[in-house]
Amino acid sequence: MEFYTYKFIENQAQINHVFEYVISFFVLSGFFFAGVKYMRDRLKTKNRDLFIIFVLLIILVIGFRFTDYKQSQTDAEQTSQMIAFLKSVAEENHVSKDIISADSPRIKNEMIICIGDSFYQVNFFSNYSAYELKSISIINSNIRFIDK
């Protein structure tokens, strides 16, 4: 069973997508290069075909980026909800955020959180505005804490 620490969840909100930016840069560079070649030698169809290929690639990349953007917005919202929830639990139980971990990096009903050596099941009420902690016992003693 894996538990995610507060630091891990907080770091998830700060992950950037460098690989996607590099691919976008290369596609845009190819588009610019093919566009310049096409404008300079308008009679050569090879350059026109390259230009059209890069236009289609740009449309494809924009579609992927839009989907990734929507997903990253959802992930950021869920991560911020989880961070706020863990802060609330820490304040309510008068403990440090560093000793709290959860079995899910995203907020969900009936997830399990660990506060020190105690385990609790979290039951959320409508629209996640309130929660209840119920003390539980864990059967599986193979617990791994993920903090990086």
Domain ranges of the chain: 2-146
pLDDT, tens digit, 9 for 90 and up, residues 4-47: 888 888 777 555 566 667 777 887 787 788 777 777 776 666 77
E strand spans, 1-148:
2-5, 100-102, 111-115, 118-124, 131-136, 144-146
Burial class (CB in 10 A: 0-12, 13-18, 19+), 35: middle
What is the C-alpha separation between 62 and 145, in angstroms, rounded?
Answer: 37
Q: What angle (nearest 5°) sits at the alpha carbon of residue 108, between those of residues 105 and 112?
A: 70
pLDDT, tens digit, 9 for 90 and up, residues 86-127: 999 999 999 998 899 999 888 888 999 999 889 999 998 888
Closest by CA to 81, choosing from 128, 123, 146, is 128
- Report field, pTM of the whole predicted structure over 0.95: no
